[in-house]
Amino acid sequence: MYSRGYIMNIEEIINRIAWWIPFKGLRNAFREYLLYNINLNTKLLKEIYNINKEYSDNNKEIFNNFYELKSSIFTLDLRNKARMQILALGDEKIIEEKRKERLIVSLTSFPQRIYDIDVVLFSLINQTIKPDKIILWLSIEEFPNLEKDVPLHILNMRKFGIEIEFCKDIKSYKKLIYALKKYPNDIIVTADDDIYYEYNWLEKLYNAYLENPNYIYCHRSRKILIDDDKNILPLIKWQNNYFGNKNIEPSYRNYFTTGGGILSKSLFFNNEIFNEELFMKLAPLDDDKWFFVMALLNDTKISIVKDNNKIIEIGYDDYKRLWDINKTGVNQQTFDKLLNYYGDKLKNKIIND
């Protein structure tokens, strides 16, 4: 069982490395070459594991360090490939408005990550279907000199059609609030500045919307669980909705995460979504929960796209992430605040779904 699961995981990694190779024959040969070499290393790792498993507590740190190193190598390889492909694009404008109901990808960043966001932006312009706009929102407080504070290689991404807008700093809320305000009749898809999006990420979201335009669509979510007494269980007990989804029904209990990408429109949310004073009071560091609650209060269910993609995190271990703060329990406190503030209207929506 262990061996089979491990090989499947390796094959998925290989597919993520090889997808960009344009010729099928070459791509398959490259996959076989990687699989052969990885299998040799896998046998060695299994031998090491069998020898040391009785001392697993002592060796846990060693194995963790090994897998962190492997992840770092994969990330570095991904970045290098992306930057080589950016150079190969030349000066051609890729992102242009074509749809009446525009498809807009919106994201934000901050100074510690801005240098590496070109890799994320490349993954967004490299989609099988192109959005009408890609907008990067940067706060005036963090970039007071505006374009002068943005690295030149990021500014150069504008030649592909990427737009950079400067705005008031409202933390991670920037990635959705400003786009919803400025483009109330268009489709907004959120993205994060530390995730590399696979080539069909946007196509899956958009096709799902075209099939049924009544839901918010996402790739990554968790299922809110209820106990026998109809109490909402703590966040730590919520169920992960696994990747490769085939038949998870739209639900008020599908808690989306905007970093994995959500497709939404202004009309999907309660009008209170723009109440800055309130969201900074109730959920200053957790925009996902605010957006989720605003969707439920407007009777909008969340649907997970079929064959949803796994998330490829580029990795920014040196930088303080909101997740590092939220995982300490602030996450649960924020959700409890929202439940208490909106009361039975919100609770019943979740419990009775």
Tokens of 23: 């010729």
Residue 343 in any domain: the answer is: yes
* Burial grade of 352 (CB within 10 A; 0-12, 13-18, 19 or more): exposed
Structural domain for 110, as ranges: 105-351
Instruction: Find the mean pLDDT for residues 44-50.
Output: 60
Same domain, 320 and 241: yes
Same domain, 34 and 119: no
Q: Is 281 helix (H, G, I), strand (E, B) or coil?
A: helix
* Burial grade of 44 (CB within 10 A; 0-12, 13-18, 19 or more): exposed
Tokens of 233: 């269980």
Instruction: Find the mean pLDDT for residues 303-319.
Output: 79
Domain boundary among 61, 88, 115: 88
Angle of helix 331-351 relative to helix 287-296, nearest 10 degrees, comes to: 10
Length of the chain: 353
Same domain, 57 and 192: no
pLDDT of residue 313: 86
pLDDT of residue 59: 58
pLDDT of residue 318: 44
pLDDT tens digit sequence for 189-213:
999 999 999 999 999 999 999 999 9
Tokens of 314: 């580029």
pLDDT tens digit sequence for 154-169:
999 999 999 999 999 9
User: Over 90: is that where the pLDDT of 129 sits?
Assistant: yes
CATH number at residue 339: 3.90.550
pLDDT of residue 243: 66
Same domain, 297 and 324: yes
Same domain, 261 and 320: yes
pLDDT of residue 1: 38
Tokens of 340: 């208490």
Same domain, 281 and 187: yes
End-to-end CA distance of the chain: give it in Å, rounded: 36
pLDDT of residue 37: 66
Total domains present in the chain: 2
Q: Is 9 helix (H, G, I), strand (E, B) or coil?
A: helix
pLDDT tens digit sequence for 26-45:
667 667 766 766 666 666 56
Same domain, 57 and 118: no
Share of the chain above pLDDT 90, in %: 64
User: Over 90: is that where the pLDDT of 288 sits?
Assistant: yes
Same domain, 6 and 46: yes
More confidently predicted of 72 and 170: 170
HSE-CB for 333 with a 13 A CA cutoff: 11
Same domain, 166 and 51: no
Are 307 and 256 a contacting pair, CB within 8 Å? no
Rounded to whole angstroms, how far apart are CA atoms 317 and 341?
35
Same domain, 164 and 222: yes
Same domain, 250 and 297: yes
pLDDT tens digit sequence for 212-239:
999 999 999 999 999 999 999 999 999 9
